[in-house]
Amino acid sequence: MQLAHLISGQASAMLKQQSKLLIVEDEVLFARAVMRRLQKAGYECAHVESLQDARTIFKQFSPDVVLLDMRLPDGNGLDLLADLVAKNVAVIVMTAHGEISDAVNAIKQGAIDYLKKPIDLEELLLSVQKAEASAIQSNSLDYSRQRNAHAIDGVELLGDSPAMQSVNMQIQRIAQLVAADTVPPTVLISGETGTGKDVAARLLHLSCQVKGQNNDKPFVHIDCASLPPDLMESELFGHEKGAFTGATATRPGLIEAAEDGTLFLDEIGELPLALQAKLLNVLERRMVRRIGSTKERAVPARFIAATNRDLHEMSLTGGFRQDLYYRLNVMSIAMPPLRERASDSLMLAKHFATQTSRRYGLASPVFSADAVAMIKSYDWPGNVRELRHQVSRAMLLSHQGNITEVDLALPMNRTLIEANQHAANTMLNSQATLDEVERAVLLKVMAESDNNVSRAARKLGITRMTMRYRLEKHQFNIKTEE
């Protein structure tokens, strides 16, 4: 394996002295796209794929900024971070979904910023510029005020459907109320997985900023479902040195890190009952106390929570504290599933395809007529997240940006269509509706599959999520658990 790929900045960018960037990333395709974009901006770059190679090249290359992946073939990026910070190198951490705790630790250990994959190249360039300025000045940014500024610039909820217009209007109304209140009301965002609850939270954060003032307030995103149970309390509330075994230093929690910005508690329904009580106390008193401390600290942050579960039902059955549910649900926003805003699907597909083409330096996307028809007719049980994934994948697999139905590779429900047609032929005399025909098909297939959802879905050639959606749509009083 070649140790490093060096690229010098173009002559047109030589108006200023070039900064050197080291990219430590084992995903070669992504790294090359990053290098091409940074080259255009006038940076000199080196790329390595492992921690060992990074340590080897460091002395001869002497980078000003390092883009550091968290998961590498020979270890964790945190293993290299301490050495880089000690050498006054500005470090930007790159992390995938589910590795946010590593990114938070990296920030606390001196990293300038972190970016969540997939990363937009323009977003990355902005972060690099901030890191470069920091390295030139003092190499000591206030991380809680700077780390998320790049991630929320230009955030918007795309869609012209009435459902999305309603959501945007709700966000604006809440923002106006917040601006007039000294204690921001809590907001609960509900919706199925993949509907864009995190985007709505970021947009609400931006909308609540006061025009003409310094609007770099932090946005701290906490995924309650991905926090390790044994570290959850410490991550949220912080701890003092010696508070428990392994607490070798005092660490503020993420609630404190939000300062006077926004704390976004994603998947709040996954928070254990014991921590729900502590969170309720923070919301009621606007004070937080670290583990092992007797001192309380004020919490001026705005709280936004999100869930894909029915918290009201959970509160009635004991799965979620009723008092916390009422405290969180002061203001609420319901994110519609994509099937209820089908007119937005093509707009979103074009948007995500364009994003992917820019990220990887590909040709502009063009959708075939069959691909357009497929996008418009598909149920999208995974909502916007599924659409983004499938379209991004199709863009990468396409020939020079021409996206066809083959590239999309969506289940077309041909078996279901054929079954519906057969059932319809037998029910024509009764003038049955399409819904009645579909219900008859589902009853038949579920009976043949012993009420096994996965088996029935395979028979019909659809995904398990789509099958569950259709069963719920027809209000089947049938046990669907596997």
Residue-level pLDDT at 287: 93
Q: Is the pLDDT of residue 358 over 70?
A: yes
Of 196, 189, 123, nearest in space to 154 by CA:
123
Of 240, 169, 255, nearest in space to 207 by CA:
169
Q: In this structure, are strands 366-367 and 402-403 parallel, antiparallel, or unpaired?
A: parallel
User: How many C-beta neighbours within 10 Å does residue 369 have?
Assistant: 9
pLDDT single digits (tens) 78-91: 888 888 877 778 88
Residue-level pLDDT at 33: 87
Q: pLDDT band for 138, please (50, 70, 90 cuts).
A: very low
When mean pLDDT is compared across 45-54, 110-119, 178-187, 400-409, the lowest value belongs to 178-187
Q: Is the pLDDT of residue 12 over 70?
A: no
Q: Are 387 and 376 in contact (CB under 8 A)?
A: no
How many Å from the N-terminal Cα to the C-terminal Cα in the chain? 47
Cα–Cα distance between 95 and 90 in angstroms, integer? 16
Residue-level pLDDT at 133: 64
pLDDT single digits (tens) 250-264: 888 889 888 888 999
Cα–Cα distance between 47 and 35 in angstroms, integer? 8
Residue-level pLDDT at 94: 87
Q: Which tokens sit at 478?
A: 């049938």
Instruction: Calculate the alpha carbon distances from 338 to 27, 154, 249, 305, 334 in Å.
Output: 31, 22, 46, 21, 13
Q: Which tokens sit at 243?
A: 């508070």
Q: What is the mean pLDDT of the chain?
A: 79
Instruction: Select the highest-mean-pLDDT range: 123-132, 190-199, 389-398, 406-415.
Output: 190-199
| Residue 37: its H or E element | helix 28-40
Instruction: Select the highest-mean-pLDDT range: 10-24, 164-178, 409-423.
Output: 164-178
pTM for the whole structure: 0.58
Longest dimension (CA), the chain: 82
Q: Is the pLDDT of residue 229 over 90?
A: no
SS3 307: strand
Residue-level pLDDT at 234: 86
Residue-level pLDDT at 362: 82
Q: Does residue 444 or residue 103 have the better pLDDT?
A: 444
Angle between helices 78-86 and 51-61 (to 10 degrees): 20
Q: Is the pLDDT of residue 8 over 80?
A: no
| Residue 333: its H or E element | strand 331-334
Q: Does residue 153 or residue 72 have the better pLDDT?
A: 72
Angle between helices 369-377 and 345-360 (to 10 degrees): 120
Q: Which tokens sit at 185?
A: 């009301």
The tokens 């909502």 sit on which residue?
A: 383
| Mean pLDDT of the region 413-423 | 48
Cα–Cα distance between 398 and 394 in angstroms, integer? 6
430-466: b (≥16 Cβ within 10 Å) or e: eebeeeebbbbbbeebbeebeeebebbbbbbbbbbbb
User: How many C-beta neighbours within 10 Å does residue 350 have?
Assistant: 18
| Mean pLDDT of the region 175-184 | 67
Q: Residue 415: which residues within 8 A CB-CB, separation 6 or more?
A: 459, 460, 461, 462
Q: Does residue 130 or residue 332 have the better pLDDT?
A: 332
Q: pLDDT band for 147, please (50, 70, 90 cuts).
A: very low
| Mean pLDDT of the region 140-148 | 35
Sheet-wide strand order for 90-95? 44-48, 20-24, 65-69, 90-95, 113-116
SS3 310: coil
**Percent of the chain residues past pLDDT 70, beyond the cut:** 80
Q: Are 65 and 92 in contact (CB under 8 A)?
A: yes
pLDDT single digits (tens) 422-469: 554 555 455 556 667 677 778 878 877 777 887 777 777 676 667 777
| Mean pLDDT of the region 383-399 | 89
Q: pLDDT band for 139, please (50, 70, 90 cuts).
A: very low
Cα–Cα distance between 30 and 360 in angstroms, integer? 7
Phi then psi dihedrals of residue 437, to 5 deg: -65, -45
Q: In this structure, are strands 187-190 and 302-307 parallel, antiparallel, or unpaired?
A: parallel
Q: Does residue 166 or residue 245 have the better pLDDT?
A: 166
Instruction: Select the highest-mean-pLDDT range: 77-91, 108-122, 352-366, 382-396.
Output: 382-396
